[in-house]
A and B are shown apart, each in its own frame.
Chain A
Amino acid sequence: MTAKTRTISELGAALHARELTAQAITDQCLGAIAERNPSLNAFITVLADAAREHARQADAEMNAGRYRGPLHGVPVSLKDLIDLSGTATSAASRVRQGHLATADATIVTRLREAGAIIVGKTNLHEFAFGTTNEDSAFGPARHPLDPSRSPGGSSGGSAASVLADMAYASIGTDTGGSVRIPSAACGLVGLKPSIGEIPTDGVVPLSGTLDHVGPICRSVEDAGLLYDVLRGAMPAPRRPAPAARGLRLGVLRAYFMALLDPEVAESFERACARLQETGVELHDVVVPHAGDIAPIYLHIVLSDAAAYHAKTLESRADDYTANVRLRLEMGRYILAEDYVRALRGREVLMHEVDAALTGCDGLLLPSLPIPAPTIGVGTVRIGASDEPVRNITLRLTQLFNMTGHPAISIPCGNTPEGWPVGAQLVGHRMRTDALLDTARAVEPCLG
């Protein structure tokens, strides 16, 4: 096995067998950062010295027979919204200038205990309030396949860091799709677990009621390993994946297919055909009030974000990027009665997704309606209409932040120009493990 091993599962086995060293792998990632970060802008902070020292310690422990598990010695990156003691948590904003985290977020403690090597903190859309990474005090993160494109967001630097081999995985956050959107745009796997499963203390909030933490990585198996560590469980060998044949998936159509780039739609339909050829049963299901998703989401996320930012909007408004400031200001005008309406709508949607899942192993839909968007472009044409990039990118993911169902984006092919397309699988609430089993079963047919 060479140092070019790509998944954590494969790398962890090689490290455990001492065929590779954590120091060599970490140096390789730091080398990729040195080479590509100037053009990709994926990292805000690179922790080269600390990473090398932690890698040296990891090798010493493994050489002495003290093996911590499959993340031991594995380089990972952190979205710069997550506290890492002794470093700034910039949230990609000038508002956070001078910040220094005095403690690790719980998820960082868990990663460290599992032996992960943190190589740096990644760029994002300012305060995670956007889906393209364009509004960052540090400039936009760029797509490793074409720097004129966005890697998606808000965890765009995270996805870029994994795709460009700067880290084997990254930990992002997802309030409306911010793990799944960049994963889909970059051809990676991104998991949003069930709501509340992974602690968010030490993570700068966007919406305290919608925020989730989740991994971006190269395989469903890796997502499972990281999910175990992040939720505080010992990563255990996964049960054998169930056979894909006989699985029942509900395909969300109507609203969810109404605004898709034609090439994304084609890739998704081809993936559906492959699943059916493998023996997966697909049948159409509906969320009757899907048309209300965007208004409900908007009233919740704007209100939650405005409450968190009210003080700095008064005292340091000019330190926000212009677009993020305006979106935050919008939230200050929402009436309490409309926020309460949105909370009721959220309950309605939760029941409807539960109903759609009845009798199914999961729901299936695309993750992102368009390929990675071009940086600086505000709208994209779909059919006869020009759609705002922000609205269209959130369209297929935000529902499950509101309902709390676990959801995972898995690569499902490419457009003819080679842009990755993602399929999203959604599981039953609080059954992320079962979703991961289903995802492992269908992953080979999708990609």
Chain B
Amino acid sequence: MIIKAWLEDAVRDAERRGLPALRPLLEALARSTAALRAADWNLDAAGKVDELQRQDDR
């Protein structure tokens, strides 16, 4: 799920549940999730070399 769609859904659900104060927290979480997903150590199914595994193999 892309972050933009996730955030829209999450904010809508929070408001439906009577928790509008969650919106800024969810927006902050979305920024944090974007940083997590952008990290260069994430695995890649296309075959990006797993640096950790290479270190372990050495």
Which of A296, A338, A345 counts the most chain B CB atoms within 10 A? A338
How many angstroms between the C-alpha atoms of A341 and B10 in the bound complex?
20
Counting residue pairs across A and B whose Cβ atoms lie within 8 Å, the total is 64
Check B49 for interface membership: any CB of A closer than 8 A.
Answer: no
Given contacts A330-B26, A335-B1, A351-B55, contact A295 B33 (CB under 8 A): yes
Inter-chain contact B21/A326, CB cutoff 8 Å: yes
How many residues from B make CB contacts under 8 Å with A? Answer: 22
Which of B10, B29, B35, B55 counts the most chain A CB atoms within 10 A? B29
Contacts of B52 in A (CB 8 A): 347-348, 351
Check A61 for interface membership: any CB of B closer than 8 A.
Answer: no
For A340, the closest partner residue in chain B by CB is B43
Given contacts A327-B25, A329-B14, A347-B52, contact A295 B41 (CB under 8 A): no
The distance from the CB of A363 to the nearest CB of chain B, in whole angstroms, is 20
For A388, the closest partner residue in chain B by CB is B28
Identify whether the interface residues of A are mostly helix, strand, loop, or mixed. Answer: helix
Residues 16-32 of B at the A interface (beta carbon under 8 Å): 19, 21-22, 25-26, 29, 32
Inter-chain contact B21/A299, CB cutoff 8 Å: no
The distance from the CB of A56 to the nearest CB of chain B, in whole angstroms, is 51
A329, A330, A344: the one within 8 Å of B41 (CB) = A344
Contacts of A294 in B (CB 8 A): 32
How many angstroms between the C-alpha atoms of A313 and B43 in the bound complex?
34
Inter-chain contact A345/B36, CB cutoff 8 Å: yes
Inter-chain contact A342/B36, CB cutoff 8 Å: yes
Inter-chain contact A345/B39, CB cutoff 8 Å: yes
For A299, the closest partner residue in chain B by CB is B36
Given contacts A351-B52, A351-B55, contact A295 B26 (CB under 8 A): no
How many angstroms between the C-alpha atoms of A296 and B6 in the bound complex?
18
For A391, the closest partner residue in chain B by CB is B28
Inter-chain contact B39/A330, CB cutoff 8 Å: no
Contacts of B1 in A (CB 8 A): 335
Inter-chain contact B19/A329, CB cutoff 8 Å: yes
How many angstroms between the C-alpha atoms of A342 and B37 in the bound complex?
9
Contacts of A327 in B (CB 8 A): 25
Contacts of B19 in A (CB 8 A): 326, 329
Interface flags, B43-58, vs A, CB<8A=1, else 0? 1000000001001000
Residues of B that sit less than 8 Å from A by CB: 1, 6, 10, 13-14, 19, 21-22, 25-26, 29, 32-33, 35-37, 39, 41-43, 52, 55
Cross-chain pairs A/B with CB under 8 angstroms, 18 sampled: A292-B36, A299-B36, A322-B21, A326-B21, A329-B25, A330-B25, A330-B29, A333-B6, A333-B10, A333-B13, A334-B33, A335-B33, A341-B37, A342-B36, A344-B41, A344-B42, A345-B36, A351-B52
Residues of A that sit less than 8 Å from B by CB: 289, 291-292, 294-296, 298-299, 302, 322, 326-327, 329-330, 333-335, 338, 341-342, 344-345, 347-348, 351
